[in-house]
Chain A
């Protein structure tokens, strides 16, 4: 007989056993022999992920969508199996920084921002309270169903019952009392709850065994194995259709979304963070959990489909909610004890979730919402208060009561409404908003408080608009016009088709938008400025891992006299003294009285307090007694980047020295060039002076001889005078040629550029020298050339070149037998002029040399009987002139053969010629 009192008694009995376990575990923990320091317990306690939503709801989901219930468990499986390193990092960071909750984690990461912690808390409370309501509903429903045994009657609409007869109210009250007893028995410096964890682990076993018992009973007690159930189910068309898997792209998209969502939920739901991170005793326990927790999820899902199908087969024609199959199937087969056990299993699923979730939320509300607010109101005089322990416990207990009250209220209001039924995934989507700031905060140093605030706020707003408000509207609490037509009738603002995005289910749609905007704002706003000193330090602590451990956080002189009372105000004098004493022992001192007033002590006090009131509040409190300036960003960076700075400094030095080397090399080269120029100038002057002194020597010698010896005979005298005159002429020519060359080389020469008929120019030049040729009896002829060879040049300069070439030819041509030929020819583009003679020829090695200044062909003299007359400047000058008009001048010769000097000039077109004439 399952009368109401039996069920109530069983419930209290079960809760009593749980409490005893918790109490015992706490005792053991106080004695230093932890019961939960065991990877098995850790893995089991993670089973808090499976709530009544799993225990009862999986079968319901399976009935509605076949194996659509699976992704909710594939996500966590993937997380633990593949992303264990994220968890390991999170646990390490949380331990090192005495993180007490997910809100504390985010706040601490972004510079211990109280505001950020508050925002995370608000999101978590808004997102999770309806989820708590769901648990209350499940417990009260299962109670109602079970108490009507042996009949199977679906409970009346919740909210229809008067308040005082509503079993859910009592469930909420009992759970609140139980949670307060569990979670706030004392204020733990580390904010860990060993008793609670032990109880949760036991609850995980209870709900798993209960579910497996139902499964075994249904499969082998009622039917003849799994095959039997499936065979029968296939026979019924409306049942077999449920066995199909996702059959549309959107449905596959939904699978992906659910896996993604549940993956983050298993990490970021406040209760998951509490169990997986805060309550973790030893990070090595994770290595067992990475396979045990997925195994747990596998087992608890093993019989979902058989139970669902068996339920459908048994309760054909409806009337029984699929969510209750787990309970109603044993009842329908008159299995009282099993039904009661299932009820207890459901109760354990609900209590586990509610206790951990509420404790986690109350810690967040207390540390990140209420305390910061209270400490900011000076009228309360809290800053002067000497003992906060009572106040803190009071706030937490109040928060627990209020959160459960809110859960109950939501349950009363929402009832059977859509908003409650679908709340599981909506909650998941809410906590998924933490993913960017948490994951980003662990792996990216660039995130800032502003970025985190902007991302979270934007994501939360979009989540509210695209998911929460529509769920309210579907429950009839809001006019639903905005769903169909968009806010203010703007189609683009339709919450479930934002900006026209269609083809996705509502969860996926909301998740895509909210996370996209969340992530965009987080990164975008973070990049607006470099992290400040506090953010950079926390970023290093969170992202950087172990090397950050040595970063000094404070430069202070606060001593035990200030810090001990401060800690005592929050965790109690006795505990504070114990903690300080143990810190003193760690440092090799006898007692806390000996602790020096140094930065290490302040760090210790800050993290001690952080365990009780959260890192943001702790920092604020410690700062109130410590009169110091926090480390400047430059100093922190100095410490962090010392190595890299040394490297970059070395690189700079290296670069500078390379630059210097380069500059030195350039200077050396420039200097060498200058020296070379200087030497060339010296050589030139020396050569010029030599060339000038040579004729002068003759002139002086002969003049002196004539002067000293008036009796020189007339022939001698006139010969000497002739020499003197010739040398004087030579001297003048030399001087004018030197000046001419200097003008040409410096570009100061004056040019008259005109169209010159080369044929005419040649005959002019030849005419001017005809007499000299006749004197030496050297034949001079102009070979006939085509007319109209026109060049643009200075006619006088060209004649100068021709005269020079002709004089040279005459100089070297043998008297009497010598002949010189002049000619010109042209191609389409150039005019070519040559002067050839039958002189001795020029050796190849001298052919370049003769165009240098003052060179008259040293090697040539072998072929000469006398030193050649001339200045040695004619050819250099001629070449300058020809090159000025873009032509070339060269010699073709060999000893003993005809010597030919040739120059070319660019040819001008005939019509140009016609025009210019």
Chain B
């Protein structure tokens, strides 16, 4: 059974590239374009891993991450935060909120795929 990945980003082109990338690796994908959408998709789609953008309308990635981690049903779900803001304070904040990894945009597609695979292994 293929692993399920939820892609959360408000930037259509980034969503497009990530979708293409994940599908190519054989993952099942779903897409959310803002924070609220992300939470409802996570509940519905029950992904194994979430690629979570930080800067989004309605709810930021941090808020989404915090809400997910507060839900025991989601405890096993891996969260990889993706952000164009690479400041150390933000990396630390993301990890403190329960993210499993933190990737800075623009990212290397190869590295991202490896990272996702290692977390799902």
Residues of A within 8 A of B (CB): 686, 689-691, 693-702, 704-705, 708-709, 723, 726-727, 858, 861, 866-867
B17 contacts across to A, CB distance below 8 A: 698, 701-702, 705
1/0 contact string of B100-112 vs chain A (CB within 8 Å): 0000111111100
**Contact across chains for A701 and B34 when beta carbons are under 8 A apart:** no
Interface of A is mostly: helix
User: Contacting B12 at CB < 8 Å: which of A696, A705, A866?
Assistant: A866
Q: Which 10 A-B pairs have the closest CB atoms?
A: A693-B84, A701-B17, A698-B13, A697-B106, A697-B105, A690-B84, A700-B106, A704-B109, A696-B106, A861-B57
B57 touches A858 (CB 8 A): yes
Question: What residues on A are CB-neighbors of B57 within 8 Å?
Answer: 858, 861, 867
B12:A697 contact, CB within 8 angstroms: no
Residues of B within 8 Å of A695, CB to CB, are 13
A648 to B17, CA, bound (A): 79
Known A-B contacts: A697-B107, A701-B106, A861-B57. Give 19 more (CB < 8 A): A690-B84, A690-B85, A691-B84, A693-B84, A693-B105, A694-B11, A697-B14, A700-B107, A700-B108, A700-B109, A701-B21, A701-B109, A702-B13, A705-B21, A723-B13, A726-B13, A866-B12, A867-B11, A867-B33
**How distant is the Cα of A694 from the Cα of B57 in the complex, in angstroms?**
15
Whether A693 and B106, one on each chain, are in contact in the complex, defined by CB atoms closer than 8 angstroms, is yes
Contact call A704/B105, Cβ cutoff below 8 A: no
Q: For residue B16, which residues in chain A have a CB less than 8 angstroms away from its CB?
A: 698, 723
7 contacts between A and B (CB under 8 A): A686-B85, A690-B85, A698-B17, A700-B109, A701-B106, A702-B13, A708-B109
Q: Who on chain B is nearest to A869 by CB? A: B12
User: What's the Cα separation between A867 and B56 when bound, in Å?
Assistant: 10
Residues of A within 8 A of B21 (CB): 701, 705
- A696:B105 contact, CB within 8 angstroms: yes
A-facing residues in B59-91 (Cβ within 8 Å): 84-87
Q: B55 — nearest CB in chain A belongs to which residue?
A: A690
Give chain A residues whose Cβ lies under 8 Å from the Cβ of B33: 866-867
- Docked complex Cα distance between A691 and B85 (Å): 9
B-chain residues with CB within 8 Å of residue A708 when the two chains form the complex: 109-110
Is B84 a contact of A689 with CB atoms below 8 Å? yes
- Chain A positions within 8 Å of B106 at CB level: 693, 696-697, 699-701
Contacts of B28 in A (CB 8 A): none
Tell me which residues from 1 to 41 in chain B have a Cβ below 8 Å from any Cβ of chain A: 10-14, 16-18, 20-21, 24, 33-34
Q: Which residues of B contact A700 (CB under 8 A)?
A: 106-109
- Chain A's closest residue to B82 (CB) is A697
Would you call A686 and B87 a contact (CB within 8 A)?
yes
Question: CA–CA, A691 to B106, complex, Å?
Answer: 11
> In the complex, how many angstroms separate the beta carbon of B20 from the nearest chain A beta carbon?
6
Q: A704 to B20, Cβ gap below 8 A?
A: no
* Complex contacts, B18 vs chain A, CB 8 Å: 701
B104 to chain A, nearest CB (A): 8
Contact of A698 among B11, B24, B85, B87 (CB under 8 A): B11
B-side contacts of A686, CB under 8 Å:
85, 87
**Most chain B CB inside 10 Å of its own CB: which residue of A698, A700, A708:** A698
CB distance from A738 to the nearest CB of B (A): 15
CB-nearest residue of chain A to B108 = A704
For B20, list chain A residues within 8 Å (CB).
Answer: 705
Cα-based distance from A701 to B12 in the complex (angstroms): 13
Our pick among B12, B85, B104 for the contact of A867 (Cβ within 8 Å) is B12
Could you tell me the distance between the alpha carbons of A144 and B102 in the complex, rounded to whole angstroms?
138
Contact A704 B110 (CB under 8 A): yes
Whole-angstrom distance between the Cβ of A732 and the nearest chain B Cβ: 16
Distance in angstroms between the alpha carbons of A831 and B86 in the assembled complex: 46
For A861, what are the chain B residues with a Cβ–Cβ distance below 8 Å? 34, 57-58
CB proximity of B113 to chain A, nearest CB, Å: 10
Task: Name which residue of chain B comes closest to A700, CB basis.
Answer: B106
Compute how far the CA of A866 lies from the CA of B84 in the bound complex, rounded to whole angstroms.
20
Q: How far is the CA of A861 from the CA of B105 in the complex (A)?
A: 23
Inside 8 A of B14's CB, which chain A residues have their CB?
694, 697-698, 701
A691: chain B residues within 8 A (beta carbon): 84
Bound-state CA distance A700–B108 (Å) is 8
| Residue in B closest to A701 when the chains form the complex, CB atoms | B17
Q: Compute how far the CA of A689 lies from the CA of B17 in the bound complex, rounded to whole angstroms.
A: 21
A804 to chain B, nearest CB (A): 22
In the bound complex, residues from chain B placing their C-beta under 8 Å from that of A702 are 13, 17
Give the shortest distance, in Å, between A741 (CB) and chain B (any CB).
Answer: 19
A663 CB → nearest B CB, Å? 33
Contacting pair A697 B108 (CB below 8 A): no
With both chains docked as a complex, state the minimum distance between the C-beta of A399 and any C-beta of chain B, in angstroms: 103
Residue of chain B at shortest CB distance from A696: B106
Among A693, A695, A697, max chain B CB count under 10 A is at A697
Interchain CB contact under 8 A, A727 and B84: no
CB neighbours of B12 from chain A (8 A):
866-867
Residue numbers in A under 8 Å from B11 (CB-CB): 694, 697-698, 867
A856 to chain B, nearest CB (A): 9
A709 to B21, CA, bound (A): 11
In the assembled complex, the CB of A241 is this many whole angstroms from the nearest CB of chain B, namely 115
Known: A727-B13, A867-B33. A697 touches B110 (CB 8 A): no
